[in-house]
Amino acid sequence: MVRLENYQGSQVMHEIEELEQIVLNILEPLKAQGVKTLELYAGQAEADDIEELAKMTKLFPCVYVIATGLSLTNKDRYDEEDIGVMLIIGDRNLRGTEYAKSGSATNVGVYEILEQSERLLHRKKIHPSGTMRLRTAAPLYLAPKKGLCFYAARYEFKTIKD
């Protein structure tokens, strides 16, 4: 079985958790570009609760990483494993400060974070056993007048298991 590196010392992690951590580590340069919050997703953005979303603005611009699932395909003597990873990107506007009518100088904009993330992840060999690929990017929740813009980018990582 191909295993991803263990980032938690002797603590055994599921391969999904390991991939989330690898992606989080790769995205670390986004902090130098103005991203304030970069962490694993723990249900922070509840789209049906506008008050919860409004509280998130103090964490903007932000990127959360969450695994979206794992699937195995049998291929003769091995299994092909696909692990999906989603980035949830939030900021006050889509296009950054220069386009925002009432934005602050700290807002990068969702589109810029999407671009930077893609440069770091898409078609990159993030681990010797596989390459990360962007599959889709789409809005999750858009309310620019309220300063709430969330996008999701779904990536796929393929590897082989014995």
- Contact present, 119 and 132 (Cβ < 8 Å): no
Compute φ and ψ for 59, nearest 5 degrees. Answer: -95, -5
* Neighbouring C-beta atoms of residue 93, cutoff 10 Å: 24
pLDDT at residue 102 above 70? Answer: no
Spell out the domains of the chain, with CATH numbers in brackets: 15-161 (3.30.2000.10)
pLDDT at residue 123 above 60? Answer: yes
Summarised one tens digit per residue, pLDDT across range 14-25 is: 778 888 999 999
Summarised one tens digit per residue, pLDDT across range 27-76 is: 999 999 889 999 888 776 665 666 777 777 888 999 999 988 777 778 77
Closest CA to 122 of 151, 93, 85: 85
- Contact present, 84 and 15 (Cβ < 8 Å): no
Closest CA to 157 of 62, 89, 80: 80
pTM of the model as a whole: 0.79
* pLDDT at site 72: 73
Tokens of 81: 């494993």
Compute φ and ψ for 57, nearest 5 degrees. Answer: -60, -30
Closest CA to 26 of 134, 152, 125: 125
